[in-house]
Amino acid sequence: MRGTGINVGLVSPGPIDTGFIMTEIDKVEDIVFSQPLSTAEQVAEAIMVVATGQQVEISMPKASGWLTMISYLFPGLRRALRPSLYEKGRKAKEIYRKRQQDKSTS
C-alpha cells in the first residue's frame, strides 16, 4: 500500500476493561487477567495513533507484544510460563472481582 496514501496498521490490545469482561468475569479464563486491563479510551487513542500513520503497530501493554513474539519463537518457554501466568491471572482476577463487589455494594 506504500505510496497510495492508505495507512495500514495494527492495534493489538490485551484485555479491555469493559462491562462485558467485568460482568462475565467468572467466564473469562484466569490467564486473560495476567496482563493489565486497558481502558476503551486507551485503545481508541492507540487506534488514532495508528490511523494517522504515527506508528504501524501497537501492542497493549507493550510487554504483551514481546511475550507473544517470544512464546511463538520458543514454544517450550511458552509451556513453561503458562502455569505462572494462570496463577498471576487468578490473583489479579480475585482483585478485580473484589472491586466489582465493592462497587455494587456502595
Residue ranges covered by each domain of the chain: 11-97
Predicted confidence (pLDDT) at residue 95 exceeds the cutoff of 80: yes
CA distance 47 to 39: 13
pTM of the model: 0.76
Q: What is the pLDDT of residue 82?
A: 92
Sign of CA dihedral 67, 71, 72, 78: negative
Start-to-end CA span in the chain (Å) = 52
Helix, strand, or coil (residue 13): strand
Segments in the chain forming alpha helices (H): 19-23, 40-51, 62-73, 75-105
pLDDT at residue 11 greater than cutoff 90: yes
Q: What is the pLDDT of residues 32-91, one digit of tens each?
A: 999 999 999 999 999 999 988 899 999 998 888 888 888 889 999 989 999 999 999 999
Distance CA 69, CA 77 (A): 11
The lowest-confidence range among 1-5, 8-12, 19-23 is 1-5
